[in-house]
Amino acid sequence: DAKTTQPNSMESNEEEPVHLPCNHSTISGTDYIHWYRQLPSQGPEYVIHGLTSNVNNRMASLAIAEDRKSSTLILHRATLRDAAVYYCILREPWGKLQFGAGTQVVVTP
Amino acid sequence: DTGVSQDPRHKITKRGQNVTFRCDPISEHNRLYWYRQTLGQGPEFLTYFQNEAQLEKSRLLSDRFSAERPKGSFSTLEIQRTEQGDSAMYLCASSSSKLNTEAFFGQGTRLTVV
């Protein structure tokens, strides 16, 4: 079973930030937090990952709680191309990804 | 490198027939994964290879399913005696065994069993 909990869907206006929460209360000390997204009719695409510290890349930012039991993916300025299902995953050491149902992000013009 | 490629993209087969899918990973990646995804659900892990060794198989992978990765390069996933419940998107991903690098997914093979 998936080890993370996410809201089913979130809606945002274009050009506004989107904050996607994820709970992972059973996280172990060696689990990395990974985020992937899946656009319609495509395979999942890597977004970002982190262990303890907040992370930024060209796609998004990842804010990790101090106790690591939750994290938030931040899309700074949502575009229509960001409409996708976003998955929060605790990656196992050899790379296995245990997907949950994810959060469907809807971006409104 | 053009990324992970899967063939075919779509397959329609009659119940009871055998089907085989192919995945070509990114060339320098030694890890290869197969996932299955049904409508409205996240991908479910099926099996994993490191080089040519199959190191884990999900209980979802019944004895009708078999996967191979000869010579640690491309991989094939075969389903024997297909059932309607096998209809799904089959996704392949690859990654490097360097610590915590991301996985790259192909666009998948959509199987429809009629």
Could you tell me which residues come within 8 angstroms of residue A65 by beta carbon, excluding any fewer than 6 positions away?
A71
Report the candidate in B95, B112, B111 with the shortest Cα–Cα distance to residue B103: B95
Residues of chain A under the 70 pLDDT cut: 1-2
pLDDT at A41: 87
- Residue B95 at interface with chain A, using a CB cutoff of 8 Å: yes
Q: For the residues B77-85, what does the mean pLDDT come to?
A: 98
pLDDT of residue B1 exceeding 70, the answer is no
Q: Which residues contact A87 (CB under 8 A, 6 or more apart)?
A: A6, A35, A36, A37, A38, A44, A99, A100, A102, A103, B42
Q: How far apart are CA B114 and CA B112, in angstroms?
A: 6
- Write out residues 73-92 of A within 8 Å (CB-CB) of B: 85, 87, 91
Mean predicted confidence (pLDDT) in B61-78: 94
Q: Which two tokens stand for residue A1?
A: 């079973």
Per-residue pLDDT at A47: 96
pLDDT at B11: 98
The pLDDT, as a whole number, for residue B73 is 92
Report the chain A residue with the minimal C-alpha distance to residue B47. A96
Q: Which of A45-49, B44-48, B60-64, B109-113 has the lowest mean pLDDT?
A: B60-64
A29 sits in the region (left: phi over 0; alpha: psi -120 to 50; else beta) called alpha
Q: Dihedral, CA atoms, A89, B48, B21, B45, nearest 10 degrees?
A: -30
Mutate which of A6, A58, A89, A94 to test chain B, going by most B C-beta atoms within 10 A?
A: A94
In B, residues 15-44, which contact A (CB 8 Å cutoff)?
Answer: 31, 33, 35, 40-44
Residue B29 per-residue DSSP state? -
Both tokens of residue A106?
A: 């809807």
| Average pLDDT of span B95-105 | 83
Number of neighbours of residue A21 by Cβ within 10 angstroms: 15
